[in-house]
Amino acid sequence: MKWLTNLENIAKLNMAGKYPICGSSNTDYTLIIDEKETSMGHGAIWCNNCNNGFYILRIKIDNAIKKVIPKNIEF
């Protein structure tokens, strides 16, 4: 899974870090809690350099952050 390291970075550092496929650190993410009781939610992570993105369908979220996904990202 191409984005695995970035998901780990988000969990540890609250930042996505370098996308290994293109090498750019111009990455971003959004995490939205759907169930307050369990902190489960969904999100997305993307690279602003090569416009690749990945949908996170279900994830436990400690620090929610809501950002608009750019329209040119390809999932």
Instruction: Please select the residue that binds Zn ion; options are 47, 56, 59, 61, rule is CB under 5 A.
Output: 47
Q: Name the β-bridge partners of 30.
A: 44
Question: Which of 44, 47 has the CB closer to Zn ion?
Answer: 47
**Nearest-10 Cα torsion for 46, 47, 53, 59:** -30
* 54 near Zn ion, judged by CB under 5 A: no
Instruction: Please select the residue that binds Zn ion; options are 4, 15, 22, 40, rule is CB under 5 A.
Output: 22
| Chain positions contacting Zn ion, by CB under 5 A | 19, 22, 24, 47, 49-50
